[in-house]
Amino acid sequence: MTDIIQLLPDHVANQIAAGEVVQRPASVVKELMENAIDANATSIKLIIKDAGKTLIQVIDDGKGMSATDARLSFERHATSKIRSAEDLFDLHTKGFRGEALASIAAIAHVELKTKRDNDELGTQITLEGSEVITQDIVVTPKGTSIAVKHLFFNIPARRNFLKSNNVELRHIIDEFHRVALAHPDIAFAMYHNGSETFNLPNSNYRQRVVNIFGGKTNEKLVPVEEETEILKISGFVGKPEFAKRTKTEQFFFVNNRFIKSPYLNHAINSAFEGLVKEGSHPSYFLNLTVDPKSIDINIHPTKTEIKFDDEHTLYAILRSSVKHSLGQFNIAPVLDFEHDKNLDTPYNYKDKSQASAPIVEVDRLFNPFTEEKSSKGFSSVSYKKEPAQSWEGLYVGLESKGTKTEHDFSALEFESEEQTASLFKDDKHVEDTHSTYQFQNKYIVSTIKSGMLMIDQHRAHQRVLYEGLLKNMTLKETISQQLLFPLKLQFSSNEMPIISQLKEDLEHTGFVFSGFNDETLEITGVPVNVQESEVSIILEQLISDVQQEVPDSNFSATDLLAKSMAKSLAIKTGQSLTRLEQEHLVNSLFACKEPSISPTNRATFITMSVDDIDKQFM
């Protein structure tokens, strides 16, 4: 028999490696920006076209490469970061596996321009699918410029798996935020389709957070500082009242590298226990500095998950540090029974001299029971007792009036509803029989001919609202109620594009917008069945659902909007309903096109026949 095992060609091996490194345009952005940081760049520009499908270009002013290094950088496992296996456990740089540029070049058209500071001329290399097309000497500024064009041009199947431009752009912005937050000392700029999206000057960490997430973020931040032999923590957590329904403002950086750690995230949630509402997530921007030898970064292809030597100790230190900061800045309630607020010195009195004793003057000749003038000119008030006749006259004639009133009450006649004859003989029995009953403030029990019906009130109301909202958005028929005062809401720069994308659909549900800019939203009208206090909850829930489900078409966006609003507005489990409300909900549910399932495809009711109930007693 002939041998069947053979070595793969280089271009096939590179495409397989690219499947690990490059999942979408955001993966390319991450790798190229990390390479620019490792080149000691002080300014990095990111240029995007068509959400990265047409062009991804990263320009830096780093140290650049020689002609030989520029050519070798596109070979597999070629890197300047490590020399031996031991170096993997003492990493101080970003990219170290040497697969990024080789993988990117295997699935795209790449153009590299680079020049070192001491060189007069630079190098330009053009590649298509791992194949070097040209290598020339060019005039170029110091640093490196890499342009990645036509991503997945030779793998159409992979290109078809990419989402819409809005979704892919959102992933690119997420990666841009992660890199920019980890390095506030580097200036970053991002351009999409020729327009400037971000322009972040080099600054301190607090200013970098504010520049990315908006000016209103500054008042939401609580500093966290702690340094031990094992771990150094610096950064900020958000105040509990500003907790969001999404996890978009949760960032862990270990040695200036963004990571995802559910275990450490649990430590933060534990520190905020009892301070945030259920379903809300606190914001945090925390930098953790540990010994590089105590972590293993090379356990995940994207290097976003790392392994710690002693996770339990880190958990305890992180949880305690956050709780200490919340208490130190009076964010968390403190039980101190001996503290007297009256003894606190006001802040504006801290620089004043010692307080002088007050001077008290007493008029010793003052007599409150006389009307004479005192020696110092004070007039006294008389409190002489008046004769009894003066006040007893107030009650004269009340006895006769009371008697008259008694007779008037007895003569009162009350209006009663007109009694009409009943069509049914056993009318009393019909009045005493209730068609619905609420069980545990969660289910509505109703009788049917074949047995019993049990309805989940929350899911049933979701179905009713969902079909109504979907009809309004489809037919564009809605009624709005105007607000007495405009409602202004603040959102971050990456949340506003989502609302802007769904603005037209929101208007079809009844929202009226009067102001719309990068960070502020002004609303003057809301749907009829929406309270003003619920508007922010609805929009936050909508943003959360859009970020999790990332719809790709207008129909999906409309459908998702209806689902999200129905989930926010539906009556909750535990809410007591009157008999009339129960019957109205039951009737509305069975008037729907799909009464048996909720918008999330879960059962709204179950039925139990008389036979099923009889079997329980056998």
Q: Using CA atoms, how far apart are residues 329 and 206, in angstroms rounded to an integer?
A: 17
Which is nearest to 257 in space by CA: 405, 104, 96? 96
Give the pLDDT score at 411.
57
Give the pLDDT score at 342.
61
Q: Would you give the DSSP letter of residue 258?
A: E
Give the pLDDT score at 345.
60
Q: Are strands 131-138 and 143-149 parallel, antiparallel or unpaired?
A: unpaired
pLDDT at residue 116 tops 60: yes
- The confidence band for 611, taking pLDDT boundaries of 50, 70 and 90, is confident
Total-model pTM: 0.69
Q: Are strands 43-49 and 187-192 parallel, antiparallel or unpaired?
A: parallel
Give the pLDDT score at 141.
92
Contact 490, 216 (CB under 8 A): yes
Is the model more confident about 13 or about 608? 608
CA distances to 31, 42, 119, 572 from 62, in Å: 15, 7, 13, 56
Q: Using CA atoms, how far apart are residues 39 and 495, in angstroms rounded to an integer?
A: 32
Give the pLDDT score at 335.
57
Q: Using CA atoms, how far apart are residues 453 and 219, in angstroms rounded to an integer?
A: 52
- The confidence band for 257, taking pLDDT boundaries of 50, 70 and 90, is confident
Reply yes or no on domain 439-605 having CATH 3.30.1370.100. Answer: yes
Q: What is the per-residue pLDDT across 149-196, written as a single tens digit (0 to 9) for each?
A: 998 888 888 888 888 888 888 889 999 999 999 999 999 999 999 888
For the segment 327-338, the average pLDDT, to the nearest whole number, is 65
Counting DSSP H helices and E strands in the chain, the numbers are 19, 22
Give the pLDDT score at 428.
46
- The confidence band for 109, taking pLDDT boundaries of 50, 70 and 90, is very high
- List the domain boundaries for the chain: 10-200, 205-328, 439-605
Q: Using CA atoms, how far apart are residues 358 and 112, in angstroms rounded to an integer?
A: 80
Interior angle at CA 253, CA 252 and CA 259, nearest 5: 70
Q: Are strands 520-527 and 480-490 parallel, antiparallel or unpaired?
A: antiparallel
Is the model more confident about 281 or about 343? 281
- The confidence band for 206, taking pLDDT boundaries of 50, 70 and 90, is very high
The least confident of 138-142, 340-344, 608-612 is: 340-344
pLDDT at residue 334 tops 60: no
Which is nearest to 462 in space by CA: 591, 529, 562? 562
pLDDT at residue 242 tops 60: yes
Give the pLDDT score at 298.
66
Give the pLDDT score at 358.
78
Give the pLDDT score at 380.
46
For the segment 290-316, the average pLDDT, to the nearest whole number, is 79
Positive/negative CA dihedral, 70, 71, 75, 81: negative
The least confident of 161-165, 314-318, 413-417 is: 413-417
Give the pLDDT score at 429.
46
Q: Would you give the DSSP letter of residue 415?
A: -
Which residues are 191's β-sheet partners? 47, 196
Task: Give kind and range of the element (H or E) at residue 269.
Answer: helix 262-271
Give the pLDDT score at 15.
66
Give the pLDDT score at 46.
95
Q: Would you give the DSSP letter of residue 603?
A: B
- The confidence band for 374, taking pLDDT boundaries of 50, 70 and 90, is very low
Q: Using CA atoms, how far apart are residues 603 and 382, in angstroms rounded to an integer?
A: 80
DSSP string for residues in 117-152: TT-SSEEEEEEETTEEEEEEEE---SEEEEEEESTT
Give the pLDDT score at 136.
92
Q: Using CA atoms, how far apart are residues 564 and 544, in angstroms rounded to an integer?
A: 9
pLDDT at residue 54 tops 50: yes
Q: Is 185 helix (H, G, I), strand (E, B) or coil?
A: coil
Range with top average pLDDT, 81-95, 114-128, 323-337, 421-435: 114-128
The least confident of 20-24, 65-69, 219-223 is: 20-24
Q: Mark 533-572 as b/e (b = at least 16 C-beta within 10 Å).
A: ebbeebbbbbbbbbbeebbeeeeebbbbbbbbbbbbbbbe
Is the model more confident about 248 or about 422? 248
Give the pLDDT score at 234.
93
Give the pLDDT score at 427.
47
Q: What percent of the chain is predicted at pLDDT more than 70?
A: 77
566's tokens: 């129905």
Give the pLDDT score at 554.
46
CATH says 10-200 is which class? alpha beta
The number of beta carbons lying within 10 Å of the beta carbon of residue 506 is: 20
The number of beta carbons lying within 10 Å of the beta carbon of residue 436 is: 19
CA distances to 169, 442, 458, 561, 569 from 596, in Å: 38, 17, 13, 21, 19
Q: Using CA atoms, how far apart are residues 25 and 162, in angstroms rounded to an integer?
A: 9
- The confidence band for 489, taking pLDDT boundaries of 50, 70 and 90, is confident
- The confidence band for 480, taking pLDDT boundaries of 50, 70 and 90, is confident
The least confident of 39-48, 329-338, 436-445 is: 329-338
pLDDT at residue 574 tops 50: yes
Is the model more confident about 252 or about 305? 252
Quickly tell me which residue has 């342009």 as its tokens.
147
What is 205-328's CATH number?
A: 3.30.230.10
Residues 6+ apart with CB under 8 A from 259: 252, 253, 304, 305, 306
Average pLDDT, the chain: 80
Residues 6+ apart with CB under 8 A from 360: none
Q: Is 45 helix (H, G, I), strand (E, B) or coil?
A: strand
pLDDT at residue 564 tops 90: no
pLDDT at residue 239 tops 70: yes
Contact 463, 597 (CB under 8 A): yes
